[in-house]
Every structure is written in structure tokens, then in C-alpha cells.
Amino acid sequence: MGKRQLEMREMAATKRTSSGAGAKADSRSRGAGDNSAPAIADFSKEQELHAYREMLLIRRFEEKAGQLYGMGLIGGFCHLYIGQEAVVVGMQMAKKDGDQMITGYRDHGHMLAMDLDPKGVMAELTGRRGGLSKGKGGSMHMFSKEKHFYGGHGIVGAQVALGTGLGFSNKYRENGNVAMAFFGDGASNQGQVYESFNMAQLWKLPVVYVIENNKYGMGTSVERSSATTDLSQRGASFGIPGEQVDGMDVRAVLAASDRALEHCRSGKGPYILEMVTYRYRGHSMSDPAKYRSKDEVQKMRTEHDPIEQVRKRVLDANWATEEDLKAIDKDVRALVAESAEFAQNDPEPDVSELYTDILL
Amino acid sequence: MPIDILMPALSPTMEEGKLAKWLKAEGDTVTAGDVIAEIETDKATMEVEAVDEGVLGKILVAEGTEGVKVNEKIAILLAEGEDASAADAAASAPAAKAEAPAPAAPAASAAAPVAAAPVASEPAEDPEVPAGTPMKASTVREALRDAMAEEMRRDGDVFVMGEEVAEYQGAYKITQGLLDEFGAKRVIDTPITEHGFAGLGVGAAMAGLKPIVEFMTFNFAMQAIDHIINSAAKTLYMSGGQMGAPIVFRGPNGAAARVGAQHSQDYASWYAHIPGLKVVQPWSAADAKGLLKAAIRDPNPVIFLENEILYGQSFEIPDVEDFVLPIGKAKIERTGSDVTLVSWGIGMTYTMKAADELAAMGISAEVINLRTIRPLDIDTVLASVRKTGRVVTVEEAYPMCSVSSEIAYQVQEKAFDYLDAPILRVTGKDVPMPYAANLEKLALPNVGEVIDAVKAVTYTA
């Protein structure tokens, strides 16, 4: 083992302070070299409560979406984000105005984090005219130029090349913005991911590649699909720094996101964050998830739940009472109920919409 | 025995070139591998190396001569002991024939023309070009380059990216000079990663830039077709009109010459199938310039299908400040009354020659150059069919599910009562493109096939 590798090991060891989401969940960075920021961000009361509310909104929203799917009100594919909330919320807390997000088909959480109206998201899921895409996109295809959210893409891995293009546009325009391209452990084996890595590093494009490693690409575990399972090092042959992050701890996500965004914004090129996380539900609503044990899921829920972690810290620090948190919960439930109400009562798109928005 | 030095072919499509410079003089000794001359094609300057040893006996083509045909004798090499008189004798002998055997293709065009009265089939005016517009000669290559340069001067959001577009000046020299004028920020050499850079281009377009993505050939764009269709064409619809992709995908498409099956396919019908795309397939230099400028300004994804064989061909184009043609409008290239010939892209080459021969035979053909495949200007075709009652389509692509098939469908649907004969199509054959010269010639359409089809629909023997 070379000296540099030893140093990195030591550096990684000093960072093992998080509660962790399992064997691979410690925050550690390799390849970044000059990385000395802490693995866990020190959250203020406001940050904790903000994260709590944002994650809870995603959780409750997705639970409601699952319910509406079961009632036949949402059709087709529906991929829920439950369990992974800390990833997108931590990144949202780190980003600046103008930074873009783009992701794959498990996108509801990203849209809510990017401040898109829950009513518009839910009405799109039910295919109604008030949906963000007028009911013509569905669960996997929603966009908002105004909020810098670029989809919502149904082809696994496509968002990586597209997100690299967003980074390209930032560099072309010299606007100081950074693109965040989210994709899963499954997508991380797609060829275009590496075509994108190459160009992004070659041209020093401001892109953070966020690999949401929820351990299964549909029903195939990372171990069964990937020759190497430390996905943070997938950019190593291009010289792109990467780190593994405890994606169940919103503070670890924020700290790593700060480092990644700063790296990109300062003109050093792309950065990879492997967010080690977990989805509680199946790949989609029609997936019974028989490829993993109930115990595995239960262990995650009880020991590493991203929302429960914040809740416990807030209560321990006396930053809020049970009553205060219940009030937030009530507020969030009301917002979700309102969006579900809207999504059920809003009319379907006018039939004339069939032939609109094909060409400008 | 003196050895003939012949004008070499330096690319699959080269037919002639300029003998730019002799690096050896008469009387010089030459050994194999010596560079003896420089030859300029429309794409590049290349060095010619000697293959044999000897003394350069006589130079037959002076340096600076343009338009020297491939295989023309350019010098005589003398073997040891031979003198200059042998060179003179060799110079007067005809060059060795190295042509492929003639294919057994239907050769109706060679049939003795029927003595016929002159017919009305004349070059038509382009309604997009007012009478009296000054014209100039331009190759398709120059027209494409000028179109990009003009649009890049006009709009800072326009940039071009692709393999070899910058420092190499374009694999087919379409982007010649653009790097010098616009710099590396806007003229970008990509790695050989079609899927990746097509996706990157679409992402940049979603963010509001206006990329021109050059594919070295559209054959390679099959690696990128997911982004062209799923990302570029469908996003406007899927976003409820919020976000589109103003992007041009361009490059040579279809068969070049002797490059085999994987480099010889016409993708017009593939892309024309997709709602959310516009598909343009120019023939002339004017088509190329006016339509590429329109494509770059268009807020939608546009597939711009060029042809390598046409790049070096010269046409008259309007010599005006800002020549833009409308996408979606066909042009009547020749007016006629007996039959409607519908073609586009390189298919026009056969079609225009056939129309000339048909005129000599007393058959008046109206020739429609579609220019755009999607949206298809079927109205111009229908107006002509109502006049002639007969239609022949001409294209190089495969016949199954072709653009011709679609035209035939729409014509029978909308002008059935006007038809006096079945609609016939002349297409490439339903085979992967063969390499052998004779088979390749058979696989492509030819003028004789067009004339045969016209004879069939006009019931003339």
C-alpha cells in the first residue's frame, strides 16, 4: 500500500463519526485529497426543523401516493422515495439559487425538495389538467424551468448525460451554477455514465453526480450487478474525486454536498457523491420486494430512519417538544391531504391537449 | 518498360482533384516511399508517395492544374537504362483502364430515345427566391459551413460540437474555418462517444443553449438515438410545453461509396416516424444553406440529413445577406404534365437526370424536391398529382416502411380519384449495402429504373 493510500485510509478513519446506515455507510472521501471538512454538519435548530419538515413532507406525500395508487387513481408506474428522503433534502439545503437538479424516474422527492407545488405533483400522478405537465407526463416525467428542475427521466442513465449538458450550459454561460445529476446504483453501470464522466472531467464541467445507492437496481442487489461495489470510486479512472456518504443522515449529506458543490463551483470539474441509502418500498408499486428479507427492511427502519434520527436529536436537545413536532406533522398532513383532494377532483386534460406541445 | 504514375483516389468519394505541387523534377531519382507530389481534394491536401523506383521521366500534368480526374496519367517513371524517348512513347499511350465491370442493371436510359416532339418540362422558379436575385456558385459543403457561421455570428447561444469538428476542421471539412472564427468555446471537439455527447447536447438545449451536434455519419447516431428520441423529441410533450430542446443533429446520411453495410444507410424514415422531431433532407446547396439556417433557428429538435456524395457538388445559390428557407415546404424543381416524380436528398440526382431523358422521349415530368420529410408537404405533391395522375417516388433508402411508402399511402388516401396508375417507388434494394463495386451499383437506384417506372405508370413501352 502506497503512502497516499495510507493517508487516505487515515483520513477516512477520522471521519467515521456518523451513526451509519450499515457497513458501507460511513462518510469517507477518497480522491479528493485536500478534503478536510467534517463528515457531519453541525445543524442549528432551524436547520434540524427545516430538514424534519421537508423530509416529513416527502414521506407523507409518498405514503399518500401509494394509497391513491392502491385505489386505482394513479396509473402506470409509480416509484416511491420513502427511506431516501435525507439525500435530496440535504442536497437541497446545500445548493444555491440557480443550481439545477435532474434525476431518473424516482423523482417525486426531488420535485418537492425543489419547491414544486405538491398539488401540481400529485395531480400529475393522477393525470389531471392541473398536473405539472398538464397530465401528459405522469410520475416519471415532470419539469420546471422556473425552479431549475430538469426532470423526471424514464430511461435509466439518460439523466446523467443530460445533467452533464446542464453543467456544460453553466460553464458556457459562466453563471457560477452547478448541476446535480441524481441516479441510482443500477444506472451506475450504464455506459453513458462513463461517457459523461469523461467529458465532464475533460472539460471541467460543474456537475455533482449523486449516486443514490439504495442497494437494489429493481430486484438485483449491487453485489449481484456490479463488479466493484464502492460506487464513489467509479470516477477514479477519470480522476473525478468521490466519497461515500451516509445517505440516511441529513447532516452527513449536507456536509458532503457543501464540499462537492464548492469543488464544482470553484472550477475544478465534477464530483461524485455516493449516497448510501435504502428504499423501504419495492422498486415500484407492483414490486413485492421478495428479493430481500423483512428483517433487513425492519432493521433499516428502526435503526437508521432519516426522519427519526432528526426527531430524536431535536427532542434530546430540547429544541422542540413532542407537541411541536406533532404540529409540524399535522401541518404536513394537511398539505398532503389538500394535494390529494385537488388531484382527485381536478378534471382530466381537455381532449384538445392530445395534439398540443408536440412542436413549438 | 516505363511506369505510368496515375492520379490517386484519396477518399471513397473522390472523383478529381488539384495537382497542387510537384516535389520532384524531371530527371530526379525516385525511390519507393518518396513524396513526389501534393494533391488537393475538396477535403484535404494529401501527399503522394512513389510506389516504384526509377527516374521521373516526364511530368504530364503541370502543378496547379485543377480537376485532374482519378486514374489520369500524371507522370512517367523510367526504369534504369530507359531514356526520355520511352517516356514520350508512354505518354501518348492511353491510361490503363481500372474500372469495375459494368453491372447488369436495367439500362432503359441507354435505349434509343424515341423521336418525340419537345415537351413542356422546364426548370421551375423557386417562390422563395424573387426574380432578379443575384446568384453565385457554391458547393453543398460551403453552403453548410456558411449557414453555421452566419447563425453563430447572429446568436451567441449557438455552438457546434462533434468528432473532429474543430482542429481537424471537420472529417468532411464542413466546419472548416469555424474554430478560427469562433474559438474552442463554441467549436468543440468531442471524444468518440455519440451517446454521451448527444445527451450532453440535449441537456444544454434544455437549459436554453442551441447546440449543433455533428455526427461524423448518421450511422454512428444509432448509438445516440435514445437521446434523440426519448430525450430531445418527447420532452416538450412530457413537460406540458414547459421545456423543449432547440437542437440540430446533422451530418452525412445514406450511402457514400464503397464503404459497406455499416456506413451506408439512410435514416430518413426512422426519424420521420417520431412526433416531436423535424426531419430535413436537402439536395442542392441552396436547400442546404437555407434549411440549415432555418433548422438552427427552429425551437424544436431538427434532424438534418446530409449526403457525402453531394458535399462537393456545386449549385447556384442566392447571393443575399440572409437566405433562409421554410422547413416543411417542398420545391417544384421542374414543371411537367405527364407524371409527378417525388424525391429528396440524393434521390434528386437520379430524378433530375431521368426528367431530362424523359423530356427527350416526349414524357413531361414534374419534379418535386421535398426538402423536408417531416412535416411532409403533401399538399404540393397532391396538387401535382391532380394534374398528372401519376406518381413515382425516388430515394436511396430501403423500401420497407420507407418515406416512399408513406407518400404512396397519403396520395391514395387524399387523391385516389385522380390516379390513373398505381404509385410506383424506386428505392435502394432490400439488402445490406454490399462492398463489391458491381453489387453496390445494383443495390442503389439508377436513372434507368426511374425511367422504367415512369414508362410503367404512363403505359408507354
Q: What is the pLDDT of residues B176-203, one digit of tens each?
A: 999 999 999 999 999 999 999 999 999 9
Report the pLDDT value the prediction gives residue B45, as an integer from 0 to 100: 80
Report the pLDDT value the prediction gives residue A39, as an integer from 0 to 100: 82
Residue with the larger pLDDT of the pair B70 and B226: B226
The span from the CA of B130 to the CA of B200, in Å, is 40
The span from the CA of B453 to the CA of B427, in Å, is 11
The residue in chain A having the minimum alpha-carbon distance to the alpha carbon of residue B234 is: A358
B194 a catalytic residue:
yes
Which of B200, B242, B299 is nearest residue A165 as measured by Cβ atoms? B200
Tell me, yes or no, whether A9 lies in a domain.
no
The span from the CA of B391 to the CA of A343, in Å, is 53
Q: For position A340, which CATH number holds?
A: 3.40.50.970
- Residue A24: CB atoms within 10 A of its CB come to 18
Cβ atoms of residues B421 and B459 within 8 Å:
yes
Which of A143, A152, A158 is nearest residue B230 as measured by Cβ atoms? A158
Which of B202, B240, B276 is nearest residue A137 as measured by Cβ atoms? B240
Q: Please determine, looking at this structure, whether the domain spanning B108-127+329-458 carries the CATH number 3.40.50.920.
A: yes
- What is the maximum alpha-carbon separation in chain A? 67
State the alpha helices, DSSP H only, in A203-280.
222-225, 250-265
Among A149, A199, A205, A353, most B C-beta atoms within 10 A, so best to mutate, is A199
Which of B196, B209, B244 is nearest residue A161 as measured by Cβ atoms? B196
The span from the CA of B422 to the CA of B146, in Å, is 42
With a cut of 60, say whether residue A1 has pLDDT above it. no
**Domain coverage including residue A102:** 25-31+41-344
Q: Tell me the mean pLDDT in the region B2-10.
A: 87
Residues spanned by CATH 3.40.50.970 within chain B? Answer: 135-318
Q: With residue B104 as reference, give the H or E element that holds it.
A: none
Among B185, B206, B376, most A C-beta atoms within 10 A, so best to mutate, is B206
Tell me, yes or no, whether A13 lies in a domain.
no
Model ipTM value: 0.89
Q: What is the DSSP letter of A349?
A: P
Closest CA to B252 of B170, B290, B189, B308: B308
Q: Tell me the mean pLDDT in the region A28-43.
A: 63
Chain mean position to CA B51: 33
Is the bond leading into B375 cis (omega within 30 degrees of zero)? yes
Nearest CA of chain B to the CA of A221: how many Å? Answer: 26
Contact between B203 and A136 using a beta-carbon 8 Å cutoff: no
The span from the CA of A177 to the CA of B191, in Å, is 24
Transcribe A188-202 into DSSP letters: GGSHHHHHHHHHHHH
Which of B190, B207, B242 is nearest residue A165 as measured by Cβ atoms? B207
With a cut of 60, say whether residue A19 has pLDDT above it. no
Which residue's C-alpha cell is 422504367?
A: B452
Residues of B in contact with A150 (CB under 8 A): 203, 206-207, 243
Cβ atoms of residues A243 and A252 within 8 Å:
no
Transcribe B224-282 into DSSP letters: GHHIIIIIIITHHHHTTTS-----EEEEE-B--SS--GGG-B--HHHHHTSTT-EEE--
Transcribe A102-162 into DSSP letters: EE-S--HHHHHHTT--HHHHHHHHTT-TTSTTTTSS-TT---BTTTTEEEE--STTHHHHH
Which of B191, B203, B227 is nearest residue A168 as measured by Cβ atoms? B203
Contact between A135 and B240 using a beta-carbon 8 Å cutoff: yes
Report the pLDDT value the prediction gives residue B118, as an integer from 0 to 100: 57
Report the pLDDT value the prediction gives residue B122, as an integer from 0 to 100: 76
Give the mean pLDDT of chain B: 92
A219 burial type by CB count under 10 A (0-12 exposed, 13-18 middle, 19+ buried): middle
For chain B, give percent helix, strand, coil, nearest 5: 30, 25, 45
CA terminus-to-terminus distance, chain A: 58
CB-based contacts of B66: which residues, under 8 Å, 6+ apart? B18
Cβ atoms of residues A265 and A178 within 8 Å:
yes
Choosing from B227, B263, B357, B406, the catalytic residue is: B263
Contact between B190 and A199 using a beta-carbon 8 Å cutoff: yes
Tell me, yes or no, whether A4 lies in a domain.
no
The residue in chain A having the minimum alpha-carbon distance to the alpha carbon of residue B240 is: A133
Q: Tell me the mean pLDDT in the region A244-248.
A: 97
Q: Coil, helix or strand for B77?
A: strand
Tell me, yes or no, whether A7 lies in a domain.
no
Nearest CA of chain B to the CA of A186: how many Å? Answer: 18
With a cut of 50, say whether residue A14 has pLDDT above it. no
With a cut of 90, say whether residue A12 has pLDDT above it. no
pLDDT digits (tens, 9 = 90+) for B134-156: 999 999 999 999 999 999 999 99
The residue in chain A having the minimum alpha-carbon distance to the alpha carbon of residue B193 is: A195
The CATH classification of domain B3-81, taken from the options 3.30.420.40, 3.40.309.10, 2.40.50.100, 3.40.50.300? 2.40.50.100
Q: Residue A155 corresponds to which cell in the numbers above?
A: 430511461
Which of B201, B226, B237 is nearest residue A155 as measured by Cβ atoms? B226
pLDDT digits (tens, 9 = 90+) for B85-139: 777 777 776 655 544 444 444 444 444 444 555 566 777 888 888 888 999 999 9
The span from the CA of A100 to the CA of A169, in Å, is 11
Contact between A141 and B238 using a beta-carbon 8 Å cutoff: yes
With a cut of 50, say whether residue A13 has pLDDT above it. no
With a cut of 90, say whether residue B334 has pLDDT above it. yes
Q: Coil, helix or strand for A101?
A: strand
Give the mean pLDDT of chain A: 90
Residues of A in contact with B236 (CB under 8 A): 357-360
Residues of A in contact with B242 (CB under 8 A): 133, 143-145
Cβ atoms of residues A217 and A181 within 8 Å:
no
B413 a catalytic residue:
no
Checking DSSP bridges between strand A179-184 and strand A100-103, what pairing results, if any? parallel
Residues of B in contact with A360 (CB under 8 A): 236, 244, 299-300
- Number of separate domains in chain A: 1
Q: Residue B80 corresponds to which cell in the numbers above?
A: 534504369
Helix axes B447-458 and B347-360, enclosed angle (nearest 10): 60
Residue with the larger pLDDT of the pair A286 and A160: A160
Q: Residue B154 corresponds to which cell in the numbers above?
A: 447572429
Cβ atoms of residues A217 and A225 within 8 Å:
yes
Give residue B328's identity as a one-letter amino acid code.
G
Cβ atoms of residues B141 and B173 within 8 Å:
yes
Looking at domain B135-318, its CATH superfamily turns out to be: Thiamin diphosphate (ThDP)-binding fold, Pyr/PP domains (3.40.50.970)
Tell me, yes or no, whether A244 lies in a domain.
yes
Nearest CA of chain B to the CA of A145: how many Å? Answer: 7
The span from the CA of B170 to the CA of B36, in Å, is 27
Transcribe A311-341 into DSSP letters: HHHHHHTTSS-HHHHHHHHHHHHHHHHHHHH
Give residue A192's identity as a one-letter amino acid code.
Q
pLDDT range class, residue B41, cuts 50, 70, 90: confident
pLDDT digits (tens, 9 = 90+) for A81-125: 999 999 999 999 999 999 999 999 999 999 999 999 999 999 999
Q: With residue A131 as reference, give the H or E element that holds it.
A: none
Residues of A in contact with B297 (CB under 8 A): none
The residue in chain A having the minimum alpha-carbon distance to the alpha carbon of residue B298 is: A360
Tell me, yes or no, whether A19 lies in a domain.
no
Residue with the larger pLDDT of the pair B3 and B348: B348
Beta bridge partners of B394: B343, B426
Q: Residue A38 corresponds to which cell in the numbers above?
A: 467534517
pLDDT range class, residue B48, cuts 50, 70, 90: confident
pLDDT digits (tens, 9 = 90+) for A306-322: 999 999 999 999 999 99
Residues of B in contact with A195 (CB under 8 A): 191, 193, 195-197
Half-sphere exposure of A269 (CA within 13 A, CB side): 16
Report the pLDDT value the prediction gives residue B95, as an integer from 0 to 100: 56
Tell me, yes or no, whether A350 lies in a domain.
no
Q: Which range is least confidently modeled, A54-68, B117-131, B310-324?
A: B117-131
The residue in chain A having the minimum alpha-carbon distance to the alpha carbon of residue B223 is: A192
Contact between A150 and B207 using a beta-carbon 8 Å cutoff: yes
Share of chain B above pLDDT 70, in %: 93
Among A180, A195, A201, most B C-beta atoms within 10 A, so best to mutate, is A195
Helix axes B403-415 and B378-388, enclosed angle (nearest 10): 60
**Cβ pairs A/B, distance under 8 A:** 139
Report the pLDDT value the prediction gives residue A10, as an integer from 0 to 100: 39
Q: Residue A344 corresponds to which cell in the numbers above?
A: 382527485
Chain mean position to CA A263: 19
Report the pLDDT value the prediction gives residue B120, as an integer from 0 to 100: 67
The span from the CA of B427 to the CA of A211, in Å, is 48
Closest CA to B101 of B443, B436, B356, B342: B436
Q: What is the DSSP letter of B415?
A: H
Contact between A143 and B235 using a beta-carbon 8 Å cutoff: yes
CB-based contacts of A191: which residues, under 8 Å, 6+ apart? A157, B195
Q: Residue A138 corresponds to which cell in the numbers above?
A: 405522469
